[in-house]
Amino acid sequence: MEHFAVVKSLVRVALAQGDDTVRHQVERLAAALEKADDKDAAALTRMLRSESATKTLTPSRLTKSSAGERMRRGVRVPVDRETSAPLATVVFPDENVATRPVFPADFAASVDGLRMEWENHERLADAGMRPALSCLIYGPPGTGKTSLALWLARDLGLPAVVARLDGLISSFLGTTARNLGALFDFAQRYECVLILDEFDAIAKLRDDPNEVGEIKRVVNTLLQNIDTRADTGITIGITNHHALLDPAVWRRFEVQLATPLPTALERLEIAKASMKDLTTEAKFVAWISEGYSGSELITLVDRYRKRSILAERTTAPVTTISPLAASTTARDGATKPRIRLDETSLMQALATSTDIRFQQSEIAFLTGVSTKTVSRRVSEFAEGNHIHAE
Ligand SMILES: Nc1ncnc2c1ncn2[C@@H]1O[C@H](COP(=O)(O)OP(=O)(O)OP(=O)(O)O)[C@@H](O)[C@H]1O
Ligand SMILES: [Mg+2]
């Protein structure tokens, strides 16, 4: 059929409206083409079939759906029958303030791959495929897992249904299983992103030596629900303790994203974003915070900003930042050699740093001495090293 590519695009847009009259006309066209023995008839039939089978997702980023209902404000979130505690909190796109966390390029590419599947679900449906319906985000504390899940929901223009594990998990395992069922039923019904944050709390129930059978039932309920989640949206499981997860749980998730600690490049981007007018200080903060999570880095930045607002007289940034950095992170065991440098070694380390590069004028500003002094100290140190090496 001539110009069939255009016809196909028109049909795709029209079918996405979910209008029965439109559908009927497309069916007529498909039948007519089939009668004329046109090879394009099959493509139309496929589109009709996949449209009704997958019931595609809707705007803003997704196209109109006939499967999931659009969630409205004031929607009744399921509650625990005994305690009336809500099983989830809903964050609507217009009140979702999550920003895209900063990640290394390869990680960001995996995230974009997932977004692309959802944005192009129609094209996938044409080929008889569907986007990934479940995703596991795991990684060290404070590396942006929750932020990423919320931002994905916002980016796709879907409400985030964030499970409340406090309400969900009951001391009665039967109730926990029922609550999980109710939560997933709710998520199936609407177009949404279902977020099971710190969901290892459920998987961990297996550790309880009592009632092993019952616990299995709860975990199985979780697995079955993940398996049968309709494509009204994606289910995102989040955990810090991926080692605790049962391999069966692990396998359930179609996409797995391991959030890394930020490298110098990402730390610099995060620090600069929240210290806009303090570029040199941001560089130093990024430099000294090697081994920090994004969350620890933000805490350090906030503490420094407060100090600089409240400081009566200006002190050299390193004099403020270094002790703050030393006391910001609660995680022990991590070596933070840059924090413990004395003044001369610090100058030398900054002058020879390769992950983040400093001009001598920047080192002078940070340490509160003249550029001349920095230059002298640095060359003395180089000479000393040279003599030492001989
Ligand atoms: N990669 C990142 N880019 C930008 N900001 C980040 C990043 N990682 C963490 N943050 C900052 O840290 C804060 C906490 O991050 P978030 O709660 O998303 O981490 P998490 O991995 O879910 O932590 P937890 O394991 O404690 O639940 C965020 O509000 C954000 O400001
Ligand atoms: Mg979190």
What one-letter code names the amino acid at 127? A
Global pTM value: 0.79
Across the range 54-78, mean pLDDT stands at 64
- The answer on 236 and 275 residing in a single domain is no
- The answer on 280 and 251 residing in a single domain is no
DSSP for residue 333: S
- The answer on 133 and 231 residing in a single domain is yes
Domains of the chain: total: 3
Domain membership flag for residue 73: no
Domain membership flag for residue 142: yes
> What is the best residue among 107, 147, 292 to mutate for testing ligand 1's pocket, by most ligand atoms within 8 Å of CB?
147
User: In this structure, which residue's CA is closest to atom 4 in ligand 1?
Assistant: 101
pLDDT surpasses 60 at 59: no
Residues 6+ apart with CB under 8 A from 207: none
- The answer on 271 and 238 residing in a single domain is no
Ligand 1 center to 84 CA (angstroms): 30
Q: What does the pLDDT look like over 206-251, one tens digit per residue?
A: 555 665 666 777 777 888 888 887 778 899 999 988 777 777 788 8
- The answer on 144 and 113 residing in a single domain is yes
Query: Measured from the CA of 102, which atom of ligand 1 is nearest?
Result: 3
- The answer on 331 and 303 residing in a single domain is yes
To the nearest whole number, what is the mean pLDDT of the chain? 84
pLDDT surpasses 60 at 330: no
Write the burial class of residue 33 (CB in 10 Å: 0-12 exposed, 13-18 middle, 19+ buried). Answer: buried
- The answer on 19 and 155 residing in a single domain is no
Q: Which of 357, 351, 354 is nearest to 376 (CA)?
A: 351
- The answer on 323 and 283 residing in a single domain is yes
Top mean pLDDT of 30-44, 338-352, 367-381 is at 367-381
Q: Is 366 in the pocket of ligand 1 (CB under 6 A)?
A: no
Ligand 1 center to 375 CA (angstroms): 39
User: In this structure, which residue's CA is closest to atom 18 in ligand 1?
Assistant: 144
Ligand 1 center to 24 CA (angstroms): 49
- The answer on 283 and 244 residing in a single domain is no
pLDDT of residue 57: 39
User: Which ligand has the nearest atom to the CA of 98?
Assistant: 1
Owning domain of residue 366: 264-385
- From 235, 258, 281, give the residue that closes a domain: 258
CATH code at position 223: 3.40.50.300
pLDDT band at 335 (very low <50, low <70, confident <90, very high): low
Q: Give CA–CA dist 328/45, Å, rounded.
A: 61
- From 204, 232, 258, give the residue that closes a domain: 258
Q: What does the pLDDT look like over 275-306, one tens digit per residue?
A: 988 899 999 999 999 889 999 999 999 999 99
**Which residues have beta carbons under 5 A from ligand 2 (an ion)?**
145-146
Ligand 2 center to 139 CA (angstroms): 10
pLDDT surpasses 50 at 56: no
- The answer on 29 and 139 residing in a single domain is no
Q: Is 353 in the pocket of ligand 1 (CB under 6 A)?
A: no
